[in-house]
Amino acid sequence: MADIESPSPAAAPAATATAAAAVTGAAAAATFAPSALAQTASTLGPKSTGMPGPGPFSGGLPDFKNLATDGVESYETFGCKVYKDSPPTPDWQRASVWFDRRIASHEIKMPDGKILDFWVFEDEAVGSKSRNVPSPLIRVQQGDLVHVRLKAAKGPHTIHHHGIEPTTFNDGVGHVSMEVGTEYIYQWEANTPGTWIYHCHVNTPLHFEMGLYGAVVVDPKPDPGTRRVRAFDGGPLYDVEQFWVFDDIDPRWHLLEHGAGLCGEDVGLNIFEPQYFMVTGGVSRRGTSVGKARITARANQKILVRMINAAYSQVRVRLEGLEYDVISVDGHALGKSAWNRYQRVAPGEELVLATANRYDILIDLASPVNQAAILKKKSFRTEFEFVDWITWKRQNLGDPVAEGLAFSSIDVV
């Protein structure tokens, strides 16, 4: 990847002639429905969320004596001695937006016909239709005070809003507060626009693998006047938005119990052998394009792709024929202080995502390189290769139904 100067926001072209008829600013959706998200426009602000706030909840003062550790802890029992509670949220403030998330089971059919059990955060207002891997999107605007109510089921769970950095109590890491026995309302402020993740932090390797994660998007405030929404505060405008969320599945793990391995017993969580691969909720089948990862755009539009690696593999992303810029890494914007440059990725060049890595990329179809490519063809293959962390070999290599190579396309219409 080569360093290039990022354009200043003032130099970023506004909507072009045909793009004027296109969508304005970012997409907004209550649940994570990628096909609906791409090229969908609606107003942002409080109504960008699953439920408009403020919520009907009330706060209180938990018993701070009973936190973090349940009884005497040892090296062997570190994982299973976490205090479980459902206290009122301390330092309660009125929310501007709020969400409900309830733990639910969800079955997904794999390409060989096998049906696997997943655990997801369901949006209570939407019900079973919101059951998906990844779990429903949490989308808020910079400056929002956010409440997320978690309702646990069977065993305890938490929600950790990864990278958001709320107070210790609201961070959803059991050993610094508690695991949620029945329900808890997490409270946090949306300070930094970008792409984030939320996930359960109980028996984390297993619960994350089971599907207890989703995307968090913090949008900047819209531009005054035009009301268009940029990728981040002072960042570029965009016309089309897509999420690429990568996941890999070891079916053996999906037979394990809620607390498997927590109290020191060896259940093989050190062995991960993925046999199935997903992009944005679509299960990859060998030789078949993943429809949910597809992007359609017009020839002069700017595409924002929010990539999240929820796999335990490294994911190598290749875009045939198109150049693009990495504009944000792990929720933090490039092109402004303290990371002053976008990273240009040339056509065909690889971008590698480690586990939990996020990259926001901007594909400007109007750039000279991309315009020249579009003159020759209209469909560009996008490739997502899942490789082993240590050996860098493709996962499940040679499998007739699902090897670690998913693909889709960017189609210029």
Residues that bind Cu ion (CB under 5 A): 157, 200, 202, 207, 212
Note the maximum CA span of the chain: 68
Residue with smaller CB distance to Cu ion, 198 or 324: 198
CA angle 362–344–298, rounded 5-degree value? 35
Strand partners, 102: 122, 151
DSSP secondary-structure letter at 14?
Answer: -
Minimum CB–partner distance for residue 212 and Cu ion (Å): 5
Residue with smaller CB distance to Cu ion, 86 or 289: 86
Minimum CB–partner distance for residue 244 and Cu ion (Å): 24
DSSP secondary-structure letter at 41?
Answer: -
Q: Report the run of H or E that residue 205 belongs to, with start and end.
A: helix 204-209
How many CA atoms lie within 13 Å of 333's alpha carbon, on the beta-carbon side? 20
Minimum CB–partner distance for residue 401 and Cu ion (Å): 29
Residue with smaller CB distance to Cu ion, 130 or 314: 130
> DSSP of 353-385, one letter per residue?
E-TT-EEEEEEETTSHHHHHHHHH-SEEEEEEE
Residue with smaller CB distance to Cu ion, 106 or 207: 207
Percent of the chain as helix, strand, coil, to the nearest 5: 10, 35, 50
Minimum CB–partner distance for residue 199 and Cu ion (Å): 8
- Distance between CA 217 and CA 120 in Å, rounded? 18
Phi, psi at residue 293, to the nearest 5°?
A: -95, 0
Q: Report the run of H or E that residue 34 belongs to, with start and end.
A: helix 34-37
Residue with smaller CB distance to Cu ion, 153 or 369: 153
Residue with smaller CB distance to Cu ion, 157 or 302: 157
Minimum CB–partner distance for residue 366 and Cu ion (Å): 44
State the sign of the Cα–Cα–Cα–Cα dihedral 97, 101, 107, 111.
positive
Assess contact for 90 and 115: CB atoms under 8 A: no
- Distance between CA 159 and CA 64 in Å, rounded? 19
CB neighbourhood size of 58 (10 A): 9
Chain residue whose CB lies nearest Cu ion: 200
Residue with smaller CB distance to Cu ion, 205 or 264: 205
Nearest residue to 159 via CA among 145, 177, 144, 139: 177
Minimum CB–partner distance for residue 273 and Cu ion (Å): 22
Residue with smaller CB distance to Cu ion, 207 or 316: 207
Residue with smaller CB distance to Cu ion, 144 or 209: 209
Minimum CB–partner distance for residue 1 and Cu ion (Å): 36
Minimum CB–partner distance for residue 381 and Cu ion (Å): 36
Are β-strands 179-180 and 84-85 bridged in parallel, bridged antiparallel, or unpaired?
parallel
Minimum CB–partner distance for residue 218 and Cu ion (Å): 23
